[in-house]
Amino acid sequence: MVVAVNTAKPDDLLHRYLLRKGMVRKVRHRIGTHLRWGTRDAFGDAAALVPKPKTVFDVGANIGYVAHSFHKRWPEASITCFEPTPETFERLSKNLSQLPQITCVRAAISDRDGVATFHVDNEAFGGGSNSLLDHAKEFDLTAKGHSYEGVEVATRRIDSYCNEKGIDHIDVMKIDVEGAEPLVLDGASELLERSAIDVIISEVRLVPGYEGGVLLHELTEKLSAHGYRPFGVYRFATSAIGQSLWGDAIFLGPQFRAKLISRHGAEACGFVD
């Protein structure tokens, strides 16, 4: 039986939305996507695909908005949040401290266990553009005046963390690491080879934002090497002329796709394996 608890939502909504730079553009984007009737979103589709997950990973958890939403959707799931930025991690831990189902880990997920320089954007609220990668010149088009500080952080591989904790399967893994998706996936190669991650929700880009980061088609190609296929793309921010910049995408593992076909039939799924 699930016991309802009173949980505090992540803090500083006023600063995050009303007092932040680019507030008008942000609100316009929200109205044009999230609030439009009939608009699908990646998290809603993930919840429909996996109604009762046991293990959920939030890679790049920021101050806990997505993790809090995950807990509301899946109150019985074990959720692990990874966030490397020191100040952001403190707020993440505070925001989710009342939820014993959630574990917060202070580390950047990468392709190796060790330490690395993390590029902290001092202007982005909550570290929303912090990355293991350098910011590209294209990023500055939407972030004029931002400055970056290098902070040394711990790095962990998903594979080694799961081996250490005895986790052999992840139902849903959300990735929001500002261009460092290839490092996350390389550090999860053992799980991906076993198709042991069912659903991946990842931020994706159609224009560069970070040096060495991947675009949507490149991320799709990288995951396809492990048999993963895209399910949908969602919520793209746009430039003044309508150029799609970044949004979300869902990828499904081959074993999970096979389960969907067995459950619903190939015609309903729209794909075969």
Does residue 134 carry a pLDDT above 60? yes
pLDDT given for residue 40 in this prediction: 84
pLDDT given for residue 125 in this prediction: 52
* Burial letters 112-131, b for 16+ CB under 10 A, else e: eeeebebbbbeebbbbbbbb
pLDDT given for residue 265 in this prediction: 96
pLDDT given for residue 210 in this prediction: 86
Q: Each residue of 259-271: pLDDT tens digit?
A: 999 999 999 999 9
pLDDT given for residue 234 in this prediction: 94
Q: Each residue of 19-51: pLDDT tens digit?
A: 666 666 666 655 655 544 457 899 999 999 999
Whether the Cβ atoms of residue 143 and residue 213 lie closer than 8 Å to each other: no
Whether the Cβ atoms of residue 54 and residue 171 lie closer than 8 Å to each other: yes
**In Å, what is the CA distance from 85 to each residue of 11, 35, 90, 91, 141?**
16, 30, 9, 10, 24
Q: Amino acid letter at 129?
A: S
3-state SS class at 109: strand
Mean pLDDT of the chain: 87
Whether the Cβ atoms of residue 199 and residue 252 lie closer than 8 Å to each other: yes
Whether the Cβ atoms of residue 232 and residue 250 lie closer than 8 Å to each other: yes
Does residue 135 carry a pLDDT above 80? no
pLDDT given for residue 4 in this prediction: 45
pLDDT given for residue 149 in this prediction: 83
Enclosing H/E stretch for 263: helix 254-264
Q: What proportion of the chain, given as a percentage, has pLDDT over 90?
A: 67
Identify the structural domains of the chain with CATH numbers, from first to last.
Answer: 13-269 (3.40.50.150)
Q: Each residue of 80-132: pLDDT tens digit?
A: 999 999 899 999 999 999 999 999 999 999 999 999 999 887 765 556 688 88
pLDDT given for residue 136 in this prediction: 73
Tell me which of 119-123, 241-245, 247-251 is least confident: 119-123
More confident residue, 163 or 143: 163
pLDDT given for residue 206 in this prediction: 94
* Burial letters 11-39, b for 16+ CB under 10 A, else e: eeeeebeeebeeeeeeeebeeebeeeeee
Beta bridge partners, 155, equal: 108, 114
Nearest one of 269, 266, 248 to 48, comparing CA atoms: 269
More confident residue, 144 or 240: 240
Measured over the CA atoms of residue 221, residue 60, residue 40 and residue 38, the dihedral's sign is negative
Sheet holding 148-156, edge to edge: 108-109, 148-156, 114-121
Does residue 2 carry a pLDDT above 50? no
Q: Each residue of 193-224: pLDDT tens digit?
A: 999 999 999 999 999 888 888 999 999 999 99
